[in-house]
Amino acid sequence: MEQYKLGEMERRLAELIWANAPVTTRKLTQLCEEAFGWKRTTTYTMLKRLCDRGLFENNDGTVIVLTDKDSFTLAQSENFINETFGGSLPMFLTLFSKNKKMKKDEIERLQQLIDNYKEENDD
């Protein structure tokens, strides 16, 4: 889904909005000028892209969040696993853990998540 794929500057703008929302477009243009050196028109162009993707809404000069950061990150992760691993979380974890040594506490946390999932889904 293109909705969850952002370019580098779109991602940085989204992060800026999430950190400051709700934010007026006036304040947002000031923040973007300071952070990225953007002119007002560039900020509005980039904001429109993010609004078109359903992340934010420009409501009478105030930018509000429609999709919070956690929900967006979750959707990106699900999309990545679906596209890359055919939706198989075990395949993802297998390949991921081959190249990354997991710490004991990470393994315990993962096992706890699996155990909790089992308990919730045992009928």
Per-residue pLDDT of the chain (123 residues; tens, 9 = 90+): 466 689 999 999 999 999 999 999 999 999 999 999 999 999 999 999 999 999 999 999 999 999 999 999 999 999 999 999 999 988 988 888 888 888 999 989 989 988 998 888 886
Task: Assess if residue 75 is contained within a domain.
Answer: no
Task: Assess if residue 82 is contained within a domain.
Answer: no
Q: What total of structural domains would you count in the chain?
A: 2
Count of alpha carbons within 13 Å of 116, Cβ hemisphere only? Answer: 6
**Residue listed under structure tokens 């198989």:** 88
Question: Which amino acid is located at 79 in the chain?
Answer: N
CATH number for the domain that contains residue 41: 1.10.10.10
- For residues 6 and 60, state if they share a domain: yes
- For residues 62 and 93, state if they share a domain: no
End-to-end CA separation in angstroms for the chain:
34
Rounded distance between C-alpha atoms, residue 13 and residue 58, angstroms = 14
DSSP SS3 for 54: coil
- For residues 62 and 6, state if they share a domain: yes
The pTM of the full predicted model, rounded to 2 decimals, is: 0.79
Task: Assess if residue 116 is contained within a domain.
Answer: yes
Of 24, 41, 69, the residue at which a domain comes to its end is: 69
CA 73 vs CA 34, 69, 76, 113: distances in Å: 26, 6, 5, 19
- For residues 62 and 8, state if they share a domain: yes
The residue range of the domain holding 46 is: 2-69
Q: Beta strands of the chain (E only): which ranges?
A: 23-24, 56-59, 62-65
- For residues 55 and 24, state if they share a domain: yes
- For residues 64 and 103, state if they share a domain: no
